[in-house]
Amino acid sequence: MNRIDKLLASMTLDEKIGQLNMATAGQAVTGPIVGAPTTEAIRDGKVGSLLNLFGSEATARYQKLAVEQTRLAIPLLFCADVLHGHRTTFPIPLAEAGLFDPETWERTARAAAAEAAAEGIALTFAPMLDIARDPRWGRIAEGPGEDPRLGARFATAKVRGFQGADLAAPESIAATAKHFCAGGAAAAGREYAAVDVSERTLHEVYMPPFRAAVEAGCAAIMPAFNSVAGVPMTSNLRLLRDYLRRELRFDGAIISDYDAIAELLIHGVAADRAEAATLALKAGVDIDMVGGVYLAHLPEALARGLVDMDDIDAAVRRVLTLKQKLGLFDDPYRRAASAAHQMHPEDELSADVARRSITLLANHDNILPLAADLRRIAVIGPLADAPAEMLGPWSLAGDPNRCVTILRGLRAALPLCEIAYEPGVSSKGEEEGDIAAACALCAQAEVVILCVGETADMSGEAASRAAPGLPGRQRELAEAVLATGVPVVALISSGRPLMVSWLRDKARAMVATWFLGDFAGHAVADVLTGRFNPTGRLAVTWPREVGQIPIYHAEKPSSRPANPAEPFSSKYIDLPVEPLFPFGHGLSYTRVTLRNLRASRHEFSRGDSLEFEIDAVNESAIATEETIFLFAHDLVASTARPLLELKTWAKVTLAARQTKTVALTLSAESLRCLDDDFRPVLEPGEFDILVGLNADRRTLLTTRLRALPHGARES
C-alpha cells in the first residue's frame, strides 16, 4: 500500500474534507475576506491549503503546525496569484504576449516561480488563459489576448516555466490554468456575468489554450466564476467531468475560484449549501477556495445521500497526489528553506522584457526617436510619476518603491535635457487640477511627453469599464496640451486597449506602454530615445469606439461584406468597420517589406509538411526585429471559417539594408477544422495562406493551396 492509500485508509471524514478546504491568510486581499484560518483549525486537520500567505518565516510557521501538531502530519499547500512576477514584477501578460516569444514567456514564469518558491509558495493561480475579445472586461490584462493559437503557445510556455522539468524541485511551483472556460466572453464585458456562446465557439476559441495547458502537464485547473449556456462552470459536469477529466484525461486538481461554490446558490442552481457542495464535488472540483462550503456541508450532503464516500475519496486522492508531486511529503519546508535565493536576480530580464513589450502604435513624421539635440521637454500627465501604477494589477508582492517611473527614466536617460513635469490632473478623479500650468510648461518645450491612461486597479478582476477611454479629466488635459501646437508624444499606460482614436489622429506619436513592471521608466526612455528599436506587437485588436466591440481578426464572413459604397452591406453608417489598430500591429524605427511568398507545394494530403518562404527586406539604416504572421483561410468548408486564422509566426532579425529569406512551416493537420461532432478533420478543398506583418487583410501576401481528398496524392 502506497503513502496516499495508507493516508486515505487512516483519515477520518473531517480530516478528508479538511484537505479539500482552502482558507485565506489575508496577507494579500484578492477578494472579500470570508474567513481566516485559526491555528486550532490547522491543528484539527480542517485546512489543507492556504491562500495569500508568503514569506519563508510565515509559511514555515504555519507548516510547522500542520506537520508537527496534527495527527497525520499532512503538509499545507501554500498558494498565491503569481501572475506576472513575484518580488520582481514583469509586464502584464497582455503586454508580454506581444513579444510573440515562447522562450521568453517561459523564462519569466521560471524566474517568478523561483522567487515565489523561495517564500514558501507551492502553487500559483496562473496562467490566466481566457481568450478575450472585449476590452471592457478588466481581466483582459491578465491573459494572452484574442487568439486561441497564441493562447495555446502561451499556455505551454507558462506551464513549463512555472513547473520546470521536476515539479518537486525547490524552485518549481504548480501551475493552475484558469479560468476554464470562456470567462473572457462575459456578457457586456462585465466581470462574473453569464456567458452564452455556441458549442463550436467553445471548442474552436476558448478551449484550445486549456487543452495545451493539460498537454503540457499543468498541475491544476480553476473553473471560471461564470455560467456557460446557463450552467455555472463550478458545477459543469459536461465541461469539467466529461471534457476535462474524460476526454482530455486531466487527472490533476480542480480548484474553485474564490467562494465560487457558495455562489452556486446565487446562480440559482442549488437550494442550499449542501446541494452546492454536491454539485461542485460531482463535477470534479477538489478544493473549495475560501468559502468553507465543503468543510461545513459535505458531511450533511453525505448523510443525505447526495454524495458518497467514493466521491470524497477521489477528490482527496487528487489533492494528496498534488502534494506528493510537489515533494511536500518528503520535505514540507523545501521551498521556504530556499529563502537564501536572493530576491530580484532577474532585474536584467525584467528590464529587457519591459522594453520588448512596448508597442509603437503611431509615429507621424518620424518624430520618434526623439532628436538627440533636444534641450527642453515637458512631461505632462498623471501617469508620468506614478510608481504603483507601473506595476499593474496582481502584483501582490511587488514593491512600488523600487519601480522606475517614466519621469525618472527619462531624466536618467537625458541628463543634459531640461525636463519639466506637471501632472495637470489626477489619474481618474474629477477634482481640480492645474491644466493651465501644464500648458504653460508645454509652451516652453520643444516636445511634450503626454503620460495618460489607467491606474493599475482599473484593470484586473472586478474592473470592467463600460467606456474604456481616458478616465477622469485626462481627455480634457490631453486636448488642452494638443491645442498648444507643440509636438506631442502620447504614452498610454493601461491593461487593455483604450478608445483613443481622437488622440491617434492629433498626437505626433502614440505608444502603448501598458503596465511594464519594475523598469517601466527605463524601458520607455530606451524606446523614446532610440536606444532600443521597438518590437512589441499587439496581441489584441484595438477598436476605434466601444460600438465595434467585440472586434478581432478571426471574424467569420458576412453574407454582405462591408462596402462603404453599398448601402446594404455589413457596415456602420457612422464609423469605419476597420479597427484603430489590427492584431499584430506594431511599428519600429525601420521600414520592413515582405516580398515573394512561395510554397513548397500547392497540393497536399494528411500527414504532409507545408513549407513557405518569404523575403523580408529591411529598407532602413538600422537593425531591427520583425514578427511575421502566417494566417490561413479555408475558402469552402462544411461550416463558415474565419477570414483569418493565425497558424504560426516567425521572428527575424535584420541588419541595416539586409534581406533575409524567412521560412515558416505548417503541418497539414494544422489546417483541420472541427466537424459536427467537434472532432478535427482535414476537408478537401482550397486554402489561402496569407502572410504579413499584422492582421490587416489588405496588406497580406497570399498563395493558394489545395487539400486533396483522403487517399489521393498530388501528381
pLDDT tens-digit readout, 618-655:
999 999 999 999 999 999 999 999 999 999 999 999 99
Give the pLDDT of residue 714: 47
Respond yes or no: is residue 101 known to be catalytic. no
Q: Are 140 and 186 in contact (CB under 8 A)?
A: no
Question: How many helices and strands in the chain, by DSSP H and E?
Answer: 20, 26
Return the pLDDT at 208. Answer: 98
According to DSSP H, which parts of 483-539 are helical? Answer: 501-506, 520-528
- Predicted confidence at residue 711, as pLDDT, reads 63
pLDDT at 204: 98
pLDDT for 167: 98
Is residue 32 over pLDDT 70?
Answer: no
Q: Which of 81, 101, 257, 259 is catalytic?
A: 257
450-464 tens-digit pLDDT: 999 999 999 999 999
Q: At 656, is the pLDDT very low, low, confident or very high (cuts 50, 70, 90)?
A: very high
Domain 592-707 has CATH 2.60.40.10: yes
What distance in Å separates the CA atoms of residue 654 and residue 505, rounded to the nearest whole number?
30
pLDDT score for 34: 46
pLDDT for the residue 569: 96
pLDDT digits (tens, 9 = 90+) for 330-365: 999 989 765 444 556 679 999 999 999 999 999 999
Report percent pLDDT > 90 for the chain: 93
CATH superfamily name and code, 350-548? Glycoside hydrolase family 3 C-terminal domain (3.40.50.1700)
Checking DSSP bridges between strand 447-453 and strand 418-422, what pairing results, if any? unpaired
Q: If DSSP codes are grouped into helix, strand and coil, which group holds residue 379?
A: strand
Contact status, residue 425 vs residue 476, Cβ threshold 8 Å: yes
Q: Cβ contacts of residue 552 below 8 Å, gap of 6+? A: 133, 146, 147, 540, 541, 583
Q: What residue segments make up the domains of the chain, in order of their start?
A: 3-338, 350-548, 592-707
How is domain 3-338 classified at the architecture level of CATH? Alpha-Beta Barrel (3.20)
Q: Classify residue 334 by its DSSP letter.
A: T
Whole-number percent of the chain with pLDDT over 70: 96
3-state secondary structure 6-73: HHHHHCCHHHHHHHCEEEECCCCCCCCCCCCCCHHHHHCCCCCEEECCCCHHHHHHHHHHHHHCCCCC
The single-letter DSSP state of residue 170 is T
pTM of the model: 0.97
Please give the mean pLDDT across all residues of the chain: 95
Asked whether the beta carbons of 409 and 520 are under 8 A apart, the reply is yes
How high is the pLDDT of residue 1?
66
Q: What is the mean pLDDT of residues 212-233?
A: 98
pLDDT tens for each residue of 548-574: 999 999 999 999 999 989 999 999 999
Confidence of residue 26 (pLDDT cuts 50, 70, 90): low
Q: What is the pLDDT of residue 346?
A: 78
Task: Give me the pLDDT at residue 28, please.
Answer: 52
